[in-house]
Structure 1
């Protein structure tokens, strides 16, 4: 089997002296006057990083490396918030776009790639016979909620984890009618004691519950037995079990969380890795459920956009024909072992938790303390040529062993610096 990382290993150019982000900060000031929240995703806002000591704007990327607008180069562990599963500018992505671009991007009637991309998707997703495409993860999860309410004739839903920004998920934020909260229960799964609480809530809601929409937590690995218990509880209730695989899809296993946990969901919601960074999402599942979308007003002009669908088909081919899934897991284990050993040696509270290809960096259990410690750590890592989020990061198919070892060495050096500065005590 071909390895997914076929290009020569490359490390970022060394950053000498203080990190120069002058152009980034100038662009930030311009954006504050024009764009509410500065950018399009909350997770990319400069406040999510070490503001003033971390780049704000990127100019481009190749493989696992990115360049900022000031000419600094970094090893990217953010990976487009998990979307860049194969790295930046992968040949399969570029080739699919180039081969279709001259024919047009959006057509007035359906195109053949809608069929071929759907076929590629249902061939690798367990229990899937049909699928519908959208553009964002929240599109897919919202369609799944509407479909589950239609199928069951019930209104209440349970959401676990982040499932999108739409009203029925973010019912407690400004601008959402209070009545929306009456039909939604949000449940955590951060610790093992949360598990029986979720099962009890499913039983309590009984025939009022349309669906449980589960996005797995990233701070620990759920057991197969528990996920199967949730599946069984939903079945006993006549409730639909939906896996939100916007992040975990195409990472935990070729068939995603269903394959990883050995469970069949009634529907899965996919995005991010479905097209390796191109804007695309989908819901997939058995025909008996998906067919009933015909009865609903669920429609989007851009769901049939050709380039994203062509890329979807192409990258699924890469996932199937290379060692991509095994490789990102192996590199994730390498990163976890190296970082945790370096942190222990430095007397630092940092540890990596979670799924192998989705490493979660944790400094403290208290959220405020974690952010307080992570911000100087992010700044120190950026000065060493590594871009990190302050919690969940990602391994992509373009990462190499040498690059993972580079991150581990940077972590060790950064922690020594922070210890000397008294950021944490050993």
Structure 2
């Protein structure tokens, strides 16, 4: 019997009989309709070994990153179809049941793929040292994700080098214009004016800092734990002629003690903080602001789930077996909007405005996927084939997560009230979003 004929019943049992799927195996055998939306290729026996040892999203991801398993054609279409039938919470891959595991074992024996656990692809994070969300461990986690080469990030992110949700305020805007629009939206919500002192927490490659200094004439301190980001951002400020207005530091947010600041922007950084540290994070930023100073916290949020009240070890197990935790954001944690707002208010802030940009992130991710796919050979050349596959799978999966509403992204604007409760905030949202006095 051909390999495809042996594998097909297993996939049908795992994914369902109605899944339109075509399978091509390492021996050249195929099964299923040629026009099926899911075109699955098992390039090596090792793909089944990955699934045998980890019959969930992690096994699927390991086989994909290693190049042992591929989804041909449009990746988003294939993932969407697999996601439609996958077990809730498992993502692409086979359902984890006793019957599935036994069927995998029997198929593995027939196909001669039984063996020790395959070595994970090199792109999988190795064990991080230290206490979770300690300063040293956070630095390791950030380095794993961000210090993989600025050339690769430029291919994916575009010329703005902005790694967070863009703001598509015009239907005809391109990615770069939408990223600058996001920076300006943040600046307007913070009420930036010439001469103000601004802290950019998790400043990345410096796009917001550059925009705020050049457009609004403010002084910016940007902090990041990624050394490659910091080196790029410092050179960028010098090249753009704003080095006198922008200071870039390799520094943990917990080590910033030179307040007060007039405003703080935290864009795409709180996801690295962790639930246990959210109160510390919020309190530290509160202490750094002057009275009537504003905080703009822009962060991805997950939907509430049934096990939110479960003990921490159970919730931690879910993260430890996820593709994103192993390959993309080690130690990253997504919390609900209610949790984030609760931590910010608990520190003494008054929350004044909340805006969801969920659909904007789906558009942003689609643009990043298109960038990567259109310049695939260049991306592989500046990093590795495995790393490029990690990003392709991660971003395509994230598109579906944002479009389906399983996760979202929110901008929470808060203020540190002054004595007597004054906020200095405008009375209307229209005034809040109006551009203030710009730099001459």
**Normalised-by-shorter TM-score class:** 0.3 to 0.5
Q: TM-score, normalised by structure 1?
A: 0.32
Task: Point out the structure with max Rg over C-alpha.
Answer: 2
Q: TM-score, normalised by structure 2?
A: 0.31
